[in-house]
Structure 1
C-alpha cells in the first residue's frame, strides 16, 4: 500500500523547554535554523539545548500497528543486491586486512557486530533524502544508486510505540537494543532524513522481498528543460579561465559553461522545498568533464524524484519482486 508522498508537508514541532507543540512549514524551519524564529510558547531559539525539534505527526499512518506491514517502505543504496542474502561482512577481506585487524578471532568478533546491526527503511521521502545526503556529505555524487521498494512480511512483529532516533554517529542501530525478543521491527522518529517522519529499524527476517530500480532515471521529467539546458550549455565556451589576483593559486579555474551550469542548477533547486535545496545543489553540480546532455538528463532525473514521484513509482511497479 502506497502512502501519500509530500516533500513539502508541514511538520510537528515539540519544545523541550515548555512542552509547546505546534505546526510549521519548511520555510519556518529554515528561518529557525538561522535563529530567525523561536518557540511561540517560551521564545527558545535553535541555539538552546531544549529548543523545539521535529516530532512525529499523531496522524502518521505508520503509527497504526496493524498497518505497518501493509505499507511500502523504501531504501536507497549503492548496493545492487540490498539486502544481501547470506550476509557475510568478512567475505571480501584480504589476508592482509585480516592480519591488520588482529587475526581471525578479531575478524569474527567484528563480523558478528556487523551482522547484529539493524537494517533501515523509511518513507519514500526519507530514501531520497538519504541519497542526496550521501551525494552531498559522503562523496557519492558519482556513485550508482538504487531505489528499493521494501515489502514486509505480514508476520512481522512491530514494537509498540516509537523511539527517538536510536542511531549512533555512524547511523548504526544494534537490532537487539531496539527490538525485544520476539520483535523484529521498531519504529523511530527520523531527525535527519524526511525529518519528523517514521522510519524502521528491522531485521532481515522481517522483509518479504524488494523491488529495485536504478536511479536517477533519465528523461522521466523534461518539460522542455533538458533541451533548453543542453542548448544553453553548448552555446557557451568550455575553455577554462584562470583566476587572477591574490587568491588565484588557491582557486580552481572554471569556464563560462560551468557558470551557466551553476545557474541552471540553482534555478531548479529554488523550486524545491527549503530543506532539500542545499543537498540537491551539491548532488546536481555541473562538472567540467560532463557532457551537457549527460548532465541535463541526470539532473532532470534527480529533480523528478522529488517533483514527480509518480514517474518513478510507475517504473518500480513494473520491476520484478525479489524474495529476500
Structure 2
C-alpha cells in the first residue's frame, strides 16, 4: 500500500508542560524553533525542557500492527546493492588500518559491532530527508544515491507500540536493544527526517525484497528550467573574483557563475517546504568549475524528486523486486 506522500503536511505536536496536542503547519514549527511561537495552552517556548515536540499522527496506518508489512517503506543509500548480502564491514579495512586497530581480534570485534546495528527504513519523505542531510553533512555531495522501496516479509513480528527515536548521536541503533528475541521490527518516532513520521529499525531478515532506482532519475527534470539555467550560467564569467570588505581575507574568491548557481539553487529551495530549504540549497549547491548542464539537470532532478514523486513511484513500479 502506497501512503500519501506530502512533504508539506501538517504535523502533530505534544506539549510536555500541559499535555496539549497541537496540529500545526511547517511554517509555525519554523517560527517556533526561532522562539517566535509558544504553546497556546501553557506558553512554553522551544527553550523550555518540556516544550512541545512533534509526535506521531494517531491516524498513521503504520500504527496498525497488521499493516506494517503491507505499506511501502523507503531508504536512500549510496550502496548500489543495499542491503548488502553477506555484509562484511571489515572488507574495506586495508592492511595498514588493520594494524592500526591492533590486529585481527579488534577488527573482528569492530565488524561484529557493525553487523549488530539495525537497518533503518521510513517514509518516502524520510528517505529524501536522509539523502539531503547526507549530502550536506556527510560529504556525500556528488555521490550517486539510490532510492529503495522496501517490502517486508508478511510474517514479521512487530514490537508493540512505538519508541522515541532510539538512535545515538551518529544515528546508530543496536538491533537487539530495540528488537529483543522474537521481535523483527520496532517502530520509532523520527524527530529528524520527516519529523513526526514513523520509521522502522529492523534486521536484514525482516526484508523480503527491494526495488531500486537511481536518484535523480535520468531525464527527470524540468526542461524549460534547465535550458534557462544553462543559458544564464554559460553567460556568467567563471573567473573567480577576490572578495572585498573587512572580511575579505577570510573568504575564498568566487566567480560570478558560482554565485549565480548558488542563487538559482536557493530559488529552487524557496519553492519547497520550509524545513527543506537549507538542506536542499546545500545539496544542490553549484561548485566552482562545475559543468552548467550537468549541474542544472542534477538540481532540477532533485527538486522533481520532492515536487513530483509520482514520476519516481512510476519508475519504481517498473523495477523487479530483488530478494534480500
Query: Is the structural similarity TM-score above 0.5?
Result: yes
Please identify runs of 4+ aligned residues in structure 1 that moved more than 4 A. Answer: none
Name 1:229's counterpart in structure 2.
229
CA distance in 2, matches of 1:50, 1:285: 37
Give the 5 Å matches for 1:138-287.
Answer: 138-222=138-222, 224-287=224-287
State the alpha-carbon separation in 2 of the partners of residues 71 and 140 from structure 1: 29
Structure 2 counterpart SS, 1:257: helix
Aligned: 1:80 with 2:92:
no
Aligned pair count reads 324
Corresponding residue SS for 1:149: strand
Q: In the alignment, what sits opposite 2:98?
A: 98
Task: Give the corresponding residue for 2:25.
Answer: 25
Distance 1:59 1:233 in 2: 46
- Give the Cα–Cα distance (whole angstroms) in 2 for the partners of residues 84 and 12 of structure 1: 35
Following the alignment from structure 2 to structure 1, what is the Cα–Cα distance between the partners of residues 223 and 292?
17
Matches of 1:9 and 1:245, distance apart in 2: 43
**Cα distance between partner residues in 2 of 1:294 and 1:155:** 45
SS at match of 1:13: strand
Maintained 8 Å contact 2:147/2:212: yes
The equivalent of 1:305 in structure 2 is 305
Q: Tell me if structure 2 keeps the 8 A contact 1:217–1:298.
A: no
- Cα deviation per residue 1:231-254 (whole Å; 9 max; x = unaligned)? 111122222212234433321111
Q: Is the CA contact (8 Å cut-off) linking 2:269 and 2:277 kept in structure 1? A: yes
Gaps (5+ residues) in structure 1? none
Q: Which moved more, 1:239-248 or 1:196-205?
A: 239-248
Q: Deviations over 1:265-323 (max 9, x none)?
A: 12111110010000000001111211111111000100001100011111111122111
**Residues 47 and 196 (structure 1 numbering): CA distance in 2 closer, same or farther, change over 3 Å?**
same
What is the deviation of 1:178? Answer: 0.7
The aligned counterpart of 1:294 is 294
- Separation (CA, whole Å) in 1 of partners of 2:97 and 2:265: 42
Please list the CA deviations of residues 91-139 of structure 1 after superposition, one character each: whole Å capped at 9, or x if unmatched.
2322322222122222222211111111000000000000000111111
Larger deviation, residues 37-46 vs 219-228: 219-228
Does the 8 Å contact 2:38/2:45 carry over to 1? yes
Q: 2:11 & 2:64 partners in 1: Cα distance?
A: 19
Q: Secondary structure at the match of 2:194?
A: coil
Q: TM-score, normalised by structure 2?
A: 0.97
Compare 99-108 and 176-185 and name the one that shifted more: 99-108
Residue 66 (structure 1) shift: 0.5
TM-score, normalisation: structure 1: 0.97
Question: Which residue does 1:109 correspond to in 2?
Answer: 109
> Is the CA contact 2:238–2:289 (under 8 Å) kept in the aligned structure 1?
no
Deviations 1:27-46 (A, max 9, x none): 00000010000111111111
RMSD: 1.2
Q: Hey, what's the Cα distance between the residues in 2 that align with 1:265 and 1:241?
A: 20
